[in-house]
């Protein structure tokens, strides 16, 4: 199973996402701001990062930009969750690539689909992804 870092400042949203990921058998670490998340990224070495855009101390865009500047973060899949998905223009979406953007409030099926898609490359060609 995968190691997933959840960067979300809303404790309830973080708990829900954590429970879903753990129920699917994944190991989870959580952070409540961009600085804490970046430190956890380097220490925990996740296979996937799920981040909110609007967080204290830099937000999800800062986190993704900093991750992408390191060799370990250059290829790490990212799922961005935000209540402002409709406000993200082309430049903002381009700066976050490659990633999946999910709108809040989160719905279970789109989250599970995004997890499955994001984690597929971590499985060998003959294995079906297990999310």
User: Pick the residue with more confidence: 29 or 55?
Assistant: 29
Tens of pLDDT, residue by residue over 32-60, are 999 999 999 999 999 999 999 888 888 88
- CATH number for 3-119 (one of 1.20.272.10, 3.90.550.10, 3.40.50.2300, 3.90.320.10): it is 3.40.50.2300
What pLDDT score does 28 carry?
Answer: 98
* 8 Å CB contact between 96 and 80: yes
Q: How far apart are CA 59 and CA 37, in angstroms?
A: 10
pLDDT score of 124 more than 60? no
Q: Give the contacts of 64 (CB within 8 A, at least 6 positions apart).
A: 49, 51, 78, 80, 95, 96, 99
Tens of pLDDT, residue by residue over 75-84, are 899 999 887 6
User: Pick the residue with more confidence: 11 or 91?
Assistant: 11
């Amino acid at each position: 199973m995968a190691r997933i870092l959840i960067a979300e400042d809303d404790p309830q949203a973080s708990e829900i996402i954590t429970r879903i990921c753990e129920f699917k058998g994944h190991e989870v670490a959580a952070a409540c701001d961009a600085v804490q998340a970046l430190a956890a990224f380097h220490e925990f070495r996740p296979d996937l990062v799920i981040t909110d855009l609007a967080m204290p101390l830099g937000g999800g865009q800062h986190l993704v930009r900093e991750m992408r500047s390191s060799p370990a973060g250059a290829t790490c899949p990212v799922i961005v969750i935000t209540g402002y998905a409709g406000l993200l223009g082309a430049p903002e979406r381009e700066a976050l690539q490659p990633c999946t953007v999910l709108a809040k409030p989160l719905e279970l099926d789109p989250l599970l689909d995004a997890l499955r898609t994001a984690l597929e490359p971590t499985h060998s060609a003959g294995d079906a992804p297990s999310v």
